[in-house]
Amino acid sequence: MDLFEIQGGKKLSGEIQIPGAKNATLPMLCASLLTKEKCVFKNVPEISDVAVLLDVFKKIGVKVNRDLSKKIVEIEAKNINPEKLKKCDELKKLRATILLLGPILARCGKCEIFQPGGDIIGTRSNEIHMGGFKVLGGHVLRDDEKISLEFKKNKFDNKRILFSEASVTGTENIAMFCAGVEDEVEIFFSAAEPHVCATLKMLHHMGTDIKGIGTHYLKIKGNKKLKGGIFEIPPDGILVGTYAIAGAITKGKLKINNVHHSELFSFYGALKRIGVEFEIKNHFLNILPTKKLEAIPKIQTAIFPGFPTDLQSLVGVLLTQCKGCSMIFETLFENRFTYLYELEKMGAKIEILNAHQAKIFGVTKLHGANVQSWDLRAGAAMVLAGLIADGKTIVSNVSYINRGYENFVKNLNNLGAKIKQFSA
């Protein structure tokens, strides 16, 4: 088991380049399965989730070429054998493998996968996906181990879908399926997150007629003969938030490059209310040394453009350094407070009211401790806590962190942190 050893008390300073977004990369790679033509992806992050997904592609007959130095991946899915998915254990390793269902079902008429794995951050029901496929005329079979789909028709049974919630992966999955079928459908209460929009724009570029991108309503007219192309993965806004908070809590000065500011306005608003000093520039963000951080009454997560749930745990660490009492209201997932129990081991003063609400009291002097990563973002939060803790912090289960943070230890060390990775 790999661990991180963090020596606290180091001020971060310097410059960092933000890589492509994990949450955009995975669905966009899956969308390439809709066409026999070559798809070239630029700015692909070097993270374990991408490596696992590309291994799955190879096992089902897809040609994959990857240049890590140039961050380029080439996908050519002339031939796909969906039968090989039935024995592909890699599907159990990450949640994003559910995104194989839409494109492969549209392309091959059937698809069977193991139930996907991923972070244990709370209930992420597959019902949005399965319900959507059923409404459109797909035959769905599933149990605790596998999901099996079949669609042997030329047209959809229904032309309208109403999601019960604005599901990100549900929107991506159903949109990819609809993109590869020559029919027209309307989707109500679709997700509008920036990485969802990136996937939808890719589908549009491939030859699908999509109206309503960026809203909670989509009208999709599919095409069986989709084309390939060159696609750039947008920068990762969650990484921007992570490094911004790392700079703020260590009272450092950072320049964060390759930033799409429009997806971060709710995050910037929270930083402003807390008192973090920062400057928004063209395609980059400056974090300036901040002397005084103030608690805020409430931070509430929400679907875009609200405050992103993926930054909730990182902000939780920041709130331990704010004077006064702050409350976090996590509206989306019921297991996202696991990191708070780890923060308490480091001396944080926290009152967990229920699965969705917690109070954090500051300013608290954190001390080094042995803590663990319960999920991707919780793990990153513990690393940030270690940066400001007295003494040494050991973070275990760091494989979670490597799923979404490219060269996390190297990048932080380049900014002045003192972190070692080793195996127990």
Q: How many residues does the chain have?
A: 424
Task: Compute the half-sphere exposure of residue 283: CA atoms within 13 Å on the CB side of its CA.
Answer: 6
Scan for tokens 């490597």, then name that residue: 402
According to DSSP, the residues that pair with 226 across neighbouring strands are none
Question: Among residues 119, 236, 310, 375, which one is catalytic?
Answer: 119
Burial class (CB in 10 A: 0-12, 13-18, 19+), 137: middle
Question: Considering only CA atoms, which of 77, 17, 16, 65 is closest in space to residue 41?
Answer: 65
Determine how β-strand 209-211 pairs with β-strand 2-7.
Answer: unpaired
Determine how β-strand 72-76 pairs with β-strand 63-67.
Answer: antiparallel
Backbone φ and ψ for 220, nearest 5 degrees, come out as: -120, 130
Asked if 71 contacts 44 with a C-beta cutoff of 8 angstroms, the reply is yes
- DSSP structural state of residue 357: E
Whole-number Å distance between alpha carbons of 135 and 158:
6
Asked if 60 contacts 82 with a C-beta cutoff of 8 angstroms, the reply is yes
144 is catalytic: no
Whole-number Å distance between alpha carbons of 11 and 9:
7
DSSP state string for 306-344: SB-GGGHHHHHHHHTTSBEEEEEE--S-TTTTHHHHHHH
Q: How far are the Cα atoms of 125, 166, 353, 355, 396 from residue 328, in angstroms, in the given order? A: 24, 21, 10, 11, 25
Please list the helix, strand and coil fractions of the chain in percent, rounded to the nearest 5, in that order.
35, 25, 35
- DSSP structural state of residue 305: T
Residue 179 CB contacts under 8 Å (≥ 6 apart), including other chains: 31, 34, 106, 203, 206, 208, 210, 220, 222, 223, 226
Whole-number Å distance between alpha carbons of 259 and 284:
5
Q: Which amino acid is at 192?
A: A
- Residues labelled catalytic: 119
